[in-house]
Amino acid sequence: MNARRDQDTLKELLTVLIGDDEPMIRDVLSEVLQAEPGLSVVAVAGDAEEAIVLAERHAPRVAILDVRMPGGGGAHAARVIRDRCPGTRVLAFSAYGDAGAVEEMRRAGVTEYLLKGLPNTDIVAAVRRVAAGR
């Protein structure tokens, strides 16, 4: 019964994967999202390759990826995840806001690009927006 109820709960939860090579960001972002009702951080990765592996394993609804990170960078991770996990939407979360970086992520299939430093509420809103496919 318990396992069955967990499955039901998971279906309703908005699952999130975080990929960022900066531990402080990973931790706080995880905390921010976890504090939101209906959101669940199912995996946290420290580089692109790990993000790909964890995304395949967990098939999260949303993957939040840093642009500059080891293992091929956010664009590489986004491309592979989009390919292998069609149900996962990718949101970029970057300290770089220049047009080139934004364009690179868009080409990799990223639907939304967030600049680090935005209010937490904006980040949460973006995650829900991306998950809803708007």
Find the shortest distance in angstroms from Cβ 84 to another protein.
Answer: 26
Task: Choose among 69, 67, 25: nearest CA to 47.
Answer: 69
12-51 residues in contact with another protein (CB under 8 A) are 22, 24-25, 27-29, 31-32, 35
Query: Could you say whether residue 120 binds another protein (CB under 8 A)?
Result: yes
Strands 39-45 and 14-19, bridge-based pairing: parallel
Query: Could you say whether residue 100 binds another protein (CB under 8 A)?
Result: yes
Query: Could you say whether residue 68 binds another protein (CB under 8 A)?
Result: yes
Q: Which residues pair with 50 in a beta bridge?
A: none
Among 6, 53, 97, 132, binds another protein (CB under 8 A): 97
- Encoding tokens for residue 99? 């047009």
Largest CA distance in the chain: 51
Task: Choose among 15, 73, 9: nearest CA to 42.
Answer: 15
Find the shortest distance in angstroms from Cβ 36 to another protein.
Answer: 11
Beta carbon nearer to another protein, 39 or 85: 39
What CA–CA distance (Å, rounded) separates 16 from 60?
A: 5
By the criterion CB under 8 A, which residues form the site for another protein? 22, 24-25, 27-29, 31-32, 35, 68, 95-101, 103-104, 116-117, 119-120
